[in-house]
Amino acid sequence: MVNTLNVARCTVRALLLVAALASASAQDDGVPVPAGVSGLGTLKAAQRETVDRYVLENERPTGELKRLADRGYIAVRSSVALRHLFPRSRFVVVPWIFQLDPGAQNLYSIPFGLYDVLAISDEGRLESIFHSSGNQEEFGMFLHNHRVKVRNKTMLCEVARTRVDIYGGGGLSLCNDVRRSSSEWILGYTEMPFRPVSSYEEERDAYYYRLRVDSSGIVLDGKYVCDTLERRKIDNAGRSVGGH
């Protein structure tokens, strides 16, 4: 269906797109809230302790670039899909705020809208950390650890729904999904329009989440990727002159 070209550069664009989607969702609502949310009071004591410990271990309150949890917006995410697929796990979003010392203004580019989502078991064990930027490999591993099976389109759409509920994709397409082979499924396939990559060349890409499954349908792993579909020259007047 697609040809993969210039993998390194395309992968970087995929990661940036994930971060941009997360940031856009954060700007709309203060923090990304794709599914129902509730306060930490709905958690068990051991689960609340896990959240507190994670925040304390990952905050950086001193130094040129400070990283602080936005405690007022730490919340539990829930949805029908999450409760059905992971009934013994709770999902807690921890938004991060970054602050620069005045003397370091030109040394850092401050990220905005970054957050982590913690998957915590009923017993309070930290099962996984889903990051708002990156290629989302932790989601595939979480599915694998929970022995989630994908055998048909219905199962795939349920997995796609949980991915959006966890990561905060908001209006991302869910079930325009395809099966490449008996061992590979694709979630959220989206083609982008042509864009310039230099003064004389442009290309268009496809972004999607790729799941690999074994012969019984159990998820082996997953990864958010980018494929280059087509590249073409641009003449001096800015017109497209063909592709390959």
- For each of the chain's 244 residues, which pLDDT tens digit applies? 334 334 444 544 444 444 444 433 333 333 344 446 778 989 999 999 999 999 999 999 999 989 999 999 999 999 999 999 999 999 999 999 999 888 787 788 877 889 999 999 999 999 999 999 899 999 999 999 999 999 998 999 999 999 999 998 655 556 666 777 889 999 888 899 999 999 899 999 999 999 999 999 999 999 999 999 999 998 765 566 665 5
Domain positions in the chain are 7-235
E-state strands within 35-87: 36-38, 65-69, 75-78
E strand or H helix at 162: helix 153-167
pLDDT for position 182: 87
SS3 content of the chain, % helix, strand, coil (to 5): 30, 35, 35
E-state strands within the chain: 36-38, 65-69, 75-78, 89-100, 115-121, 126-131, 178-181, 184-191, 195-196, 201-213, 219-234, 240-243
Are the C-beta atoms of residues 186 and 209 closer than 8 Å to each other?
Answer: yes
Q: Full-prediction pTM beyond 0.85? A: no
pLDDT for position 124: 98
